[in-house]
Amino acid sequence: MASSGRDALYTTMEKALADRAAVIGSFDGVHKGHATLIRALLDEARKRNIQSVAITFDPPPSLYFNPHFNFLLTTKEEKEELLLAAGIAQVRFLGFSGVVDKEPERFVSDELLTMNIRLLTVGQGFRFGRKRAGDVEVLRSAGQEHGFDVRVIAKEEFEGEPISATRIRELLLLGHICRANALLGYEYRLKGEAAKGLGRAGALLDTPTVNLKPDDTHKLVPPDGIYAVRFGTGRRPGICYIGSSPTFGDSTHKIEAHLLEGSPEEETKPIIHFVERLRPDRKFSSLAALKEQVKEDVAQARRVLSQR
């Protein structure tokens, strides 16, 4: 028993002292630009036979500086899931309130050196520390002093457009879902709990309906309208309504997913994957006009989903 305890302690110490290759950033969205950073890191980590780690922040800087910021592309859990799926061995969340006012040199000694970083990969223009005084040159100088290498990766572009979380947010808020997904490298998604609705939409569509209450109120919700979506881990075809039902005079804002195949009971945690915005929300002159439009929406959603 004592030997087992010593072995466990040794393993913990060994892991703590192991050389690491790190990539650092906010990683909101874990988009294609981040994927380029991660690939560069993993390639070098394999050559050196050292463990990879992603260093990021909780809360994200955007939320720390503005507590009412509700345009995050990923929750903390989604961010970790996507980073691990990209091949990162370990994700380390630093409390942003504890590092935002540190002088750059102190950040290096307190955070990077204690993790035994031997290679640090950052994006072009990376800044850190008190008043964002730390930059790539500060890191390179610290690396020469403390024995770690710094690699700087140029900003990734897609069809001539720089990839950034800011640009992806803009596209989503404009309803340009396809373009946003192209920059993300996957379909934008909302995850949450199933909430009770009024049942009007389900009756109109004659399909199983899920009202989604997002897990994180700080996450970006696409603009009001009708969307072709895939639902759940099974990615079943569906159509999603976001809005407040102006035809019915309802002021409650809702996110309703309507499954075109299968049942919502098959999912333990509702997830809506957005594929394309079909049209904006609008008020109809009659229930009959709304029903006719809904039929067209469903047909269009099926066409879109069959091609993607």
Banded pLDDT at 14 (limits 50, 70, 90): very low
Residue 200 confidence (pLDDT) above 60: no
Domains 15-160 and 188-306 fall in the same CATH topology: no
Domain ranges within the chain, ordered by starting residue: 15-160, 188-306
Residue 70 has pLDDT above 60, yes or no: yes
Q: Report whether pLDDT(218) > 80.
A: yes
Residue 173, Cβ neighbours under 10 Å: how many?
14
**pLDDT at residue 141, as a whole number:** 97
Question: For residue 9, is pLDDT > 50?
Answer: no
pLDDT of 161: 86
pLDDT the model gives residue 10: 41
Q: Which CATH superfamily is domain 15-160 in?
A: HUPs (3.40.50.620)
> How far apart are the C-alpha atoms of 21 and 153, rounded to whole Å?
15
pTM comes to: 0.88
Fold of 188-306: Elongation Factor Tu (Ef-tu); domain 3 (2.40.30)
Question: Which pLDDT tens digit goes with each residue over 85-136?
Answer: 999 999 999 999 999 999 999 999 999 999 999 999 999 889 999 999 999 9
22 pLDDT tier (thresholds 50, 70, 90): very high
